[in-house]
Amino acid sequence: MVKVWMVFEALGVEEDAVEDSLEQHVDAFKSEDGVEILEMERDDVTEMENPREDIDKGYSYVIEVRADFNKFEKVVRSVINYGPTYVQVEEPDLYDLKLGEAQNVLQNVATTMHQYAEMGAGGVLISRKAEEDG
């Protein structure tokens, strides 16, 4: 088992939408196979002045979660899929990562990067700059 502390944050212009969307997001995370929620703390929704340059008033909502994961690969996949703001591995102090699990972790990251690149949201499909300059 891998024990992890995660912080999920939502920011938006409508108080109810911020709270509802983050609750639904964390509910989906809680239903993942291989994840056992140990603790969950919710802050109150907070009004914020100028949370971004283009927003005069917004609302912030934070949920902290401690969870056990059945394997490190599941931690990485959850971070990719659910995008917590902060992540801290609390236990164990030493984790024996087998080659197959390491390969799966790296392949999941690579696959996700390609999906983002294909959607135009970032990532690198091919970088030929060094070859073109030479």
DSSP 2-16: EEEEEEEEEEES-HH
Query: pLDDT of 113-128, one tens digit each?
Result: 888 778 776 555 555 5
From first CA to last CA, the distance across the chain in angstroms is 49
Q: Mean pLDDT across the chain, nearest whole number? A: 88
Q: Which domains can be identified in the chain, with CATH numbers? A: 2-96 (3.30.70), 97-134 (no CATH)
Query: pLDDT of 7-38, one tens digit each?
Result: 999 998 999 999 999 999 999 999 999 999 99
Which has the minimum average pLDDT: 39-48, 52-61, 94-103, 113-122?
113-122
CB–CB of 32/120 below 8 Å?
no
Query: What is the pLDDT, as a whole number, of residue 52?
Result: 80
Q: Phi then psi for 88, rounded to 5 degrees?
A: -140, 125
DSSP 33-70: TTEEEEEEEEPPPEEEEEEETTEEEEEEEEEEEEEEES
Apex 13 CA angle, 10 and 15, nearest 5 = 70
Which residues does residue 35 pair with via DSSP β-bridges, in sequence order? Answer: 69
Q: How confident is the model at residue 78 (pLDDT cuts 50, 70, 90)?
A: very high
Query: For residue 86, is pLDDT > 70?
Result: yes
Helix (H, G, I), strand (E, B) or coil at 94: coil
